[in-house]
Amino acid sequence: MTWLYLILGIALLALLLVGLLVAGRRRQAPPTDSTDLLAPEQEPAEAPPEGTSLDDLLEAPEEPEAPEESAPTAPVLEKPEKPASRLVRLRQRLAGSGALGRGLLGLLSRDNLDEDTWEAIEDLLIGADIGVGPTQELVERLRTRMRVEGGADGGSAREILREELIALVDPTLDRSLDVSGADGRPGVVLVVGVNGTGKTTTVGKLARILVAEERTTLLAAADTFRAAATEQLATWGERVGVEVVRGPEGGDPASVAFEAVKRGVDDNLDTVVVDTAGRLQNKQGLMDELGKVKRVIEKQAPVTEVLLVLDATTGQNGLIQAKVFSEVVDVTGIALTKLDGSAKGGIVVAVQRQLGVPVKLVGLGEGADDLAPFDAAAFVDALLS
Ligand code: GDP
């Protein structure tokens, strides 16, 4: 019996030893757990190079340089040309329509100013869209002065013509744009005119003039009927850092205008320029639309300038449009576009006479700064150059 207990004890001891051995081996074996396999392999630590001191080793490891963050690049804003130099720069473009001036000078310098010559002068003036009334006035004054002061001297003919043309264009009219508000409110410029006359382009160019004069400006894309007009205006604004308030396509133009002028008041801006839709469907429709826009704006701030945009190449048609608009809104100034493409500079005189309102701006090309403040003497000099 004792034997049996002894053998069992030895067997148990042997089993215990074997068990301990196996457990020890297991602990040393590499992990086989599948999740551990996905862990990144640890690089074996590199031995420090020879001569490395303890201080070196204790020093904080150098932060790896953060890759340079590419800061969002601000759009490079354009610097628009100051308005004062514009008409002079664009003189050549006007001179392109100077057939009128050259033709008149040629006729007036004739030795014999007979009836045929005066008739030719009249035809030239009427052909240049000056209008019948102003033409007769001018011819009358030229006849008198040429008789008294003239003669065969081309120099004096030129001087007389220059003076009379300037008088006709009227240098006494106040052509400054009313872009400033009162009582801390912004000036509001309402821009009206038939589509295609260059209205939106003129609003964009005007924004550049205001920026050049360091005025804080906001544009309102209230021509919500022409999707392209809003996009067009947004591009103009972006180029000079002027914000554009827009509404949904086909939305209410008055609400866009209201929103913009409200922003202008809240943000203490200098000027808000409002582009409008130029649908000449019928006079009543136009009146309702523009009337509403104006009323709504004036809940916030008075409209300081109503600028009518007219295409100089449209002649009599343009004058009819001008008349309709002036009956609908109180036009305070005219922006005459595309004078570069017209041989009919006389429209300046005709439209001023018809509306009793001065031409304040002239468009002389498709370039961004091809809009100039109008000046009677500079205009006539360009015609005669
Ligand atoms: P809107 O429909 O009245 O808003 O007209 P836009 O502003 O879209 O202009 C119609 C076209 O006239 C565009 O191609 C303009 O570039 C062009 N335009 C505007 N002003 C002038 C100007 O003074 N001279 C010339 N040559 N083209 C102009």
Q: Rounded distance, CA 220 to CA 293, Å?
A: 11
CATH code of the domain in which 272 resides: 3.40.50.300
Ligand 1 neighbourhood includes 304 CB (under 6 angstroms): no
Residue 322, C-beta contacts closer than 8 angstroms, at least 6 positions apart: 308, 310, 331, 334, 351, 354, 355
Q: Which atom of ligand 1 lies at the shortest distance from residue 362's CA?
A: 23
Mean pLDDT, contiguous 10-residue spans, the chain (385 residues): 58 55 43 31 42 42 51 79 86 71 88 93 92 95 89 74 95 97 96 93 97 97 89 96 93 95 98 89 81 95 97 90 90 95 85 95 95 94 84
> Given this model, what pLDDT does residue 58 score?
37
Pairing label, strands 217-222, 371-373: unpaired
Same-domain status, 237 and 369: yes
> Given this model, what pLDDT does residue 382 score?
85
Q: How far is CA 174 from CA 178, 192, 338, 376, in A?
A: 10, 20, 22, 11
Q: Which of 209, 362, 366 to mutate to test the pocket of ligand 1 (most atoms within 8 A of CB)?
A: 366
**If you measure from the C-alpha of residue 233 to the centroid of ligand 1, how many angstroms do you get, rounded to a whole number?**
12
Q: Rounded distance, CA 348 to CA 360, Å?
A: 10
The pTM of the full predicted model, rounded to 2 decimals, is: 0.80
Residue 262 structural domain: 187-375
> Given this model, what pLDDT does residue 341 score?
76
Q: Which of 87, 191, 201, 308 to mutate to test the pocket of ligand 1 (most atoms within 8 A of CB)?
A: 201
Q: Rounded distance, CA 243 to CA 220, Å?
A: 9
Same-domain status, 245 and 309: yes
Same-domain status, 271 and 371: yes
> Given this model, what pLDDT does residue 47 score?
44
> Given this model, what pLDDT does residue 5 score?
63
> Given this model, what pLDDT does residue 243 score?
97
The single-letter code of the amino acid at 176 is: S
CATH code of the domain in which 133 resides: 1.20.120.140
Ligand 1 neighbourhood includes 196 CB (under 6 angstroms): yes
Same-domain status, 352 and 284: yes
The single-letter code of the amino acid at 335 is: A
> Given this model, what pLDDT does residue 137 score?
96
| DSSP for 169-203, written as a single string | H-TTS--------STTPPEEEEEE--TTSSHHHHH
> Given this model, what pLDDT does residue 53 score?
45
> Which H or E element spans position 274?
strand 271-276
DSSP class of 73: P
Q: Indicate whether 385 belongs to any domain.
A: no
Same-domain status, 88 and 151: yes
> Given this model, what pLDDT does residue 284 score?
82
